[in-house]
Amino acid sequence: MAVGQNEFPKMLQVSGITLGTACAGIKQTIKDDIVLIAMAEQSTCAAVFTRNAFCAAPVHVAKANMTHQPRWLLINSGNANAGTGKQGMDDAQLSCAGVAEVVGGQAQQVLPFSTGVIGQPLPVAKITAALPAAFAQLSAGLWDKAARAIMTTDTFPKGVSKVITLDGHSITINGIAKGAGMIQPDMATMLAFIATDAKIAQPLLQSCLAAAVEQSFNRITVDGDTSTNDACVLMASGCASAPEITADSEYYQIFADAIMAVCKQVAELIIRDGEGATKLMRIVVEQAKTDEEAVRVGKTIAHSPLVKTAFFASDPNWGRILAAVGRAGVDNMVLEDVQLFLDDVCIVRNGGCADDYTESAGQRVMKQEEITITVKLGRGQAVQEVLTCDFSYDYVKINAEYRT
Amino acid sequence: MAVGQNEFPKMLQVSGITLGTACAGIKQTIKDDIVLIAMAEQSTCAAVFTRNAFCAAPVHVAKANMTHQPRWLLINSGNANAGTGKQGMDDAQLSCAGVAEVVGGQAQQVLPFSTGVIGQPLPVAKITAALPAAFAQLSAGLWDKAARAIMTTDTFPKGVSKVITLDGHSITINGIAKGAGMIQPDMATMLAFIATDAKIAQPLLQSCLAAAVEQSFNRITVDGDTSTNDACVLMASGCASAPEITADSEYYQIFADAIMAVCKQVAELIIRDGEGATKLMRIVVEQAKTDEEAVRVGKTIAHSPLVKTAFFASDPNWGRILAAVGRAGVDNMVLEDVQLFLDDVCIVRNGGCADDYTESAGQRVMKQEEITITVKLGRGQAVQEVLTCDFSYDYVKINAEYRT
ipTM: 0.74
pLDDT tens digits, B30-61: 899 999 999 999 999 999 888 787 888 999 99
Higher pLDDT pick, A220 / B337: B337
CB A288 within 8 A of CB A382: yes
pLDDT higher at B183 or B248: B248
Interface test with A, best of B227, B303, B309, B337 (most A CBs within 10 A): B309
Residue B66: count other Cβ atoms within 10 Å of its Cβ.
18
Name the pLDDT band for A180 (thresholds 50, 70, 90): low
Q: B389 pairs with which residues across the strands?
A: B280
CB A55 to CB B305 under 8 A?
no
Decide if A83 and B318 are in contact by the 8 Å CB cutoff.
yes
Chain A: give the shortest CA distance to residue B87, in Å. 10
Q: Do B226 and A399 touch (CB under 8 A)?
A: no
Pairing assessment for the beta strands B231-236 and B191-196 based on DSSP bridges: parallel
- Residues contacting residue A257 through CB under 8 Å, at least 6 positions apart: none
Q: Is A188 on the interface with B (CB under 8 A)?
A: yes
Contact (CB, 8 A) for B17 and B140: yes
The pLDDT > 70 percentage for chain A reads 95
Contact B54 A317 (CB under 8 A): no
Please tell me the distance in Å from A48's CA to the nearest CA on chain B. Answer: 16
Q: Which of A197, A203, A194 is nearest to A260 (CA)?
A: A194
Which of the listed ranges A275-289, B89-103, B197-211 does the model predict with the highest average pLDDT?
A: B89-103
CB contact under 8 A, A53 and B391: no
Would B17-272 and B280-400 be classified into the same CATH topology?
no
Say which amino acid occupies B118: I
- Interface touch A397/B400, C-beta < 8 Å: no
On whether any CB of chain A is under 8 Å from the CB of B348, the answer is yes
Binning chain B into helix, strand and coil, the percentages to the nearest 5 are 35, 25, 40
Distances in whole angstroms, Cα of residue A21 to Cα of each of A14, A117, A374, B97: 17, 20, 43, 76
Domain ranges for chain B: 17-272, 280-400
Given a cut of 50, is residue B188 above it in pLDDT?
A: no
Q: Which of A115, A153, A309 to mutate to test the interface with B (most CBs of B within 10 A)?
A: A309
Q: What is the DSSP track for B332-355? A: T--GGG-EEEETTEEEEETTEE-T
Q: What is the pLDDT of residue A188?
A: 43
B54 touches A at CB < 8 Å = yes
Least confident of A24-38, A286-300, A319-333, B375-389: A319-333
Q: β-strands A280-288, A370-376: how paired?
A: parallel
| pLDDT classification of B187: cutoffs 50, 70, 90 | very low
Tens-digit pLDDT profile for residues A279-328: 999 999 999 999 999 999 999 999 888 898 889 989 888 888 988 898 88
Q: Does B350 touch chain A (CB under 8 A)?
A: yes
Residue A225 has pLDDT above 70, yes or no: no
| pTM, to two decimals | 0.79
pLDDT of residue A403: 52
- Give me the amino acid identity at A212: A
Q: Between residues B204 and A53, which one has the greater pLDDT?
A: B204
Nearest CB to A335 within list B54, B399, B401: B54
pLDDT for B225 beyond 70: no
pLDDT tops 90 at residue A186: no
CA dist., res. A353 & res. A333, Å (int): 18
Whether the bond between A361 and the residue before it is cis, its omega within 30 degrees of 0, is: no
Q: Could you tell me the fold of the domain covering A17-272?
A: L-amino peptidase D-ALA esterase/amidase (3.60.70)
Distance in angstroms (rounded) separating the CA atoms of residues A369 and A380 = 31
pLDDT score, position A176: 92
Give me the residue from B228, B348, B402 closest to A323, CB to CB.
Answer: B228
Closest CA to B263 of B323, B206, B209, B183: B209
Which residues in chain B are contacts of A86 at CB distance < 8 A? Answer: 351
Contacts of B310 in chain A (CB under 8 A): 399-400
**Predicted local distance difference test score (pLDDT) of residue A272:** 87
All residues of chain B having their beta carbon less than 8 Å from the beta carbon of residue A119 are 318-319, 352-353
**b/e per residue, A142-157, with b = 16+ CB within 10 A?**
bbbbbbbbbbbbbebb
Interface membership of A359 toward B (CB under 8 Å): no
Rounded CA-CA distance A53/B326 in Å is 5
**CB-based burial label for A342 (10 Å; 0-12, 13-18, 19+):** buried
| A305 at interface of B, judged by CB pairs closer than 8 A | yes
Q: Where are the beta strands (DSSP E) in A69-109?
A: 72-79
In total, the C-beta contacts within 8 angstroms joining chain A to chain B are: 217
CA distance B126 to B29: 11
Closest residue in chain B to residue A315, using alpha carbons only: B403
pLDDT, position B30: 84
Give the B window 203-242 contacts with A, CB below 8 Å. Answer: 223-228
List CB contacts of A203: < 8 A, sequence separation 6 or more: none
Q: Which pLDDT does position B403 carry in this prediction?
A: 53
Contact A18, A146 (CB under 8 A): no
Q: Which of B207, B217, B238, B229 is nearest to B160 (CA)?
A: B217
From B108's Cα to the closest Cα of chain A, the distance in A is: 24
- Using the Cβ of B87 and the Cβ atoms of chain A, whether some distance falls under 8 Å is answered with yes
Q: Identify how many contiguous H helices and E strands chain B contains and give both numbers.
A: 11, 15
Percent of chain A with pLDDT over 90: 63
3-state secondary structure of B38: strand
Residues B358-375, mean pLDDT to the nearest whole number: 94
- Give the whole-angstrom CA distance, residue B309 versus residue B304: 9
| DSSP codes of every residue in B102-120 | HHTS-GGGEEEEEEEESSS
> Which residue in A296, A399, A404 has the most chain B C-beta atoms within 10 A of its own C-beta, making it the best mutation to test that interface?
A399
Report the largest interatomic distance among the alpha carbons of chain A, rounded to a whole angstrom. 71
Residues A323 and B118 sit within 8 Å (Cβ to Cβ):
yes
CA A382 to chain CA centroid, Å, is: 24
Mean confidence (pLDDT) of chain A: 90
Domain boundaries B280-400, corresponding CATH code: 3.10.20.340
- Quote the CA–CA distance of B168 and B113 in Å, as a whole number: 36
% of chain B residues with pLDDT over 90: 63
Instruction: Yes or no: say if B251 and B299 are a contact pair by the CB < 8 Å rule.
Output: no
Q: Does B121 contact A at CB distance below 8 Å?
A: no
| pLDDT, tens digit (0-9, with 9 covering 90-100), for A94-151 | 999 999 999 999 999 999 999 888 888 999 999 999 999 999 999 999 999 999 999 9
B184 pLDDT above the threshold of 50: no
Q: What is the mean pLDDT of residues B119-145?
A: 96
A136 preceded by a cis bond (ω within 30 of 0)? no
- Residues paired with residue B340 on neighbouring β-strands, in sequence order: B348, B375
Strand partners, B164: B171
How far is residue B60's CA from residue B81's CA, in Å, rounded to a whole number? Answer: 11
pLDDT-based confidence at A172, cuts 50/70/90? very high
Give me the pLDDT at residue A154, please. Answer: 84
- By the 10 Å C-beta count (0-12 exposed, 13-18 middle, 19+ buried), B400 is classed as buried
In this prediction, residue B272 carries a pLDDT of 87
The predicted pLDDT at position B181 comes to: 47
The shortest C-alpha distance from B66 to chain A (Å) reads 22
pLDDT of residue A402: 56
Confidence bin at A224 (pLDDT 50/70/90): low
- Which position among A153, A189, A278, A388 bears the catalytic label? A189
The answer on pLDDT for B27 being more than 60 is yes
Query: What would the mean pLDDT of B79-94 be, rounded to a whole number?
Result: 93
Q: Which of A320-324, A336-340, A366-370, B86-90 has the lowest mean pLDDT?
A: A320-324
Question: Which are the catalytic amino acids of B?
Answer: 189
**DSSP per position, B256-311:** HHHHHHHHHHHHHHHHHT-TT---EEEEEEEEESSHHHHHHHHHHHHH-HHHHHHH
What is the rounded average pLDDT for all residues in chain B? 90
* Structure letter (DSSP) for residue A152: S
**pLDDT on residue B197:** 93
